[in-house]
């Protein structure tokens, strides 16, 4: 990896866009892993030695460092995302000791996705200092955006959303790009028009209430047995439900559809 060239202009944060980039659905992880590898393998970065004031070159050099990381991470991508990298500014009140080597790193517990921070530490200089630079990583791609506000508990249909570009990294919860994964689900909470559908916004719909009569299918190697039972808890597709069998025995099974529960033998 080349040394950071500390030549820049003081002032506002920098921003770069990648309009033809491609990134996998787990884009945040890809970017983070790559940059983490850079941090571990790269040589210490050179910094100016005159010290005293926080110099703007830190920001300019880090912008290029992040640009390269994002660009390389897109090489193995499968989903088209337009990446945008913005580097903020350090606190103008900071006064740093002269340093000959500055090392960038990703703070523990953070990742290069959405609004985050990149660490810069002096590893060789008059004083060992450590500062954090605000960074924003945006990832624009196709998503299903809500047409109108949606009340919590509403069953979602194809009419609730329209396909449009959205920033996947604006929130931690992943965007649900496949409509088959959210149509027929219910709104987990009140939703606002213009939001892209995300995993945290939807949940499986309840298909029957406690007390309902259901058909139980018990399967095993080479056989299948069906019987009737009464649901003791509400039934949600794909989730466990408690049942009272005709003989009074209590058991649990996985809800399959509006009236079917499957038991594994």
Q: How many residues does the chain have?
A: 265
Q: Which is more confident, 68 or 22? A: 68
Does the pLDDT of residue 205 top 80, yes or no? yes
The domains of the chain are located at 14-137, 141-203, 206-264
Residue listed under structure tokens 């794909």: 238
Q: Which is more confident, 8 or 199? A: 199
Q: What is the pLDDT of residue 232?
A: 94
Quickly state the pLDDT bin for 191 (edges 50, 70, 90).
very high
User: CB-hemisphere CA count at 13 Å for 52?
Assistant: 1
Residue 108: exposure state from Cβ atoms within 10 A (0-12, 13-18, ≥19): exposed
Distance between CA atoms of 30 and 168, rounded to whole angstroms?
14
Q: What is the pLDDT of residue 15?
A: 57
Residue listed under structure tokens 């018990």: 218
Q: What is the pLDDT of residue 76?
A: 61
Residue 36: exposure state from Cβ atoms within 10 A (0-12, 13-18, ≥19): middle
Q: Which is more confident, 180 or 17? A: 180
Q: What is the pLDDT of residue 188?
A: 94
What's the predicted TM-score (pTM) here? Answer: 0.68
Q: What is the pLDDT of residue 26?
A: 41
Distance between CA atoms of 131 and 119, rounded to whole angstroms?
6
Token reading at 50: 């005159």
Handedness of CA 34, 39, 45, 50 (dihedral sign): positive
If you average pLDDT over each of 13-17, 115-119, 187-191, 207-211, which comes out highest?
Answer: 187-191
Distance between CA atoms of 21 and 140, rounded to whole angstroms?
10
CATH of span 141-203 = 3.90.1210.10
Q: Are 92 and 16 in contact (CB under 8 A)?
A: no
% pLDDT > 90, the chain: 39
Mean pLDDT of the chain: 78
Q: What is the pLDDT of residue 60?
A: 67
Distance set, CA 28 to CA 1, 36, 64 (Å) = 21, 12, 18
Q: What is the pLDDT of residue 240?
A: 92
Q: Which is more confident, 174 or 6? A: 174
Does the pLDDT of residue 159 top 70, yes or no? yes
Q: pLDDT tens digits for 88-102?
A: 888 888 888 888 788
Nearest residue to 2 (alpha-carbon basis) of 61, 50, 72 = 61
CATH of span 206-264 = 2.30.30.760
SS3 251: strand
Q: Are 79 and 39 in contact (CB under 8 A)?
A: no
> Which residues 6+ apart lie within 8 Å of 31 measured at CB?
23, 69, 70, 73, 111, 112, 113, 137
Q: Which is more confident, 208 or 76? A: 208
Distance between CA atoms of 36 and 133, rounded to whole angstroms?
16
Residue listed under structure tokens 């609730």: 160
Distance between CA atoms of 43 and 39, rounded to whole angstroms?
8
Q: pLDDT tens digits for 131-148?
A: 898 989 999 999 999 999
Q: Which is more confident, 241 or 65? A: 241
- Phi/psi at 177 (5° precision): -80, -25
Taking residue 13's Cβ as centre, other Cβ atoms within 10 Å add up to 15
Q: pLDDT tens digits for 59-112?
A: 667 777 788 777 776 666 667 788 898 888 888 888 888 887 888 888 999 888
Does the pLDDT of residue 229 top 90, yes or no? yes
% pLDDT > 70, the chain: 75
Judge whether 141-203 and 206-264 match in fold.
no
Q: What is the pLDDT of residue 254?
A: 92
């Amino acid at each position: 990896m080349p040394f950071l060239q500390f030549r820049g202009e003081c002032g506002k944060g920098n921003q770069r866009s990648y309009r033809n980039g491609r990134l996998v659905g787990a884009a945040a992880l890809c970017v983070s892993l790559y940059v983490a590898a850079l941090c571990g393998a790269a040589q210490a970065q050179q910094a100016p030695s005159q010290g005293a004031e926080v110099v703007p070159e830190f920001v300019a050099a880090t912008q290029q460092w992040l640009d390269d990381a994002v660009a390389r991470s897109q090489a193995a991508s499968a989903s088209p995302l337009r990446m945008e990298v913005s580097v903020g500014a350090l606190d103008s009140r900071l006064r740093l000791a002269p340093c000959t080597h500055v090392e960038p790193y990703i703070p523990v517990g953070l990742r290069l996705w959405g609004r985050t921070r990149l660490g810069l530490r002096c590893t060789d200089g008059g004083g060992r200092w450590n500062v954090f630079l605000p960074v924003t990583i945006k990832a624009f791609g196709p998503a299903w955006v809500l047409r109108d506000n949606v009340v919590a508990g509403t069953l979602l249909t194809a009419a609730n959303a329209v396909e449009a570009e959205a920033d996947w990294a604006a929130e931690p919860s992943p965007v649900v790009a496949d409509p088959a994964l959210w149509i027929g689900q219910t709104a987990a909470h009140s939703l606002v028009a213009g939001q892209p559908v995300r995993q945290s916004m939807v949940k499986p719909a309840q298909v029957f209430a406690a007390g309902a009569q259901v058909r139980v299918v018990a399967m095993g190697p080479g056989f299948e047995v069906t019987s009737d039972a009464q649901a003791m808890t509400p039934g949600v597709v794909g989730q466990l439900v408690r049942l009272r069998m005709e003989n009074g025995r209590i058991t649990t099974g996985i809800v399959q559809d509006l009236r079917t529960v499957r038991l594994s033998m």
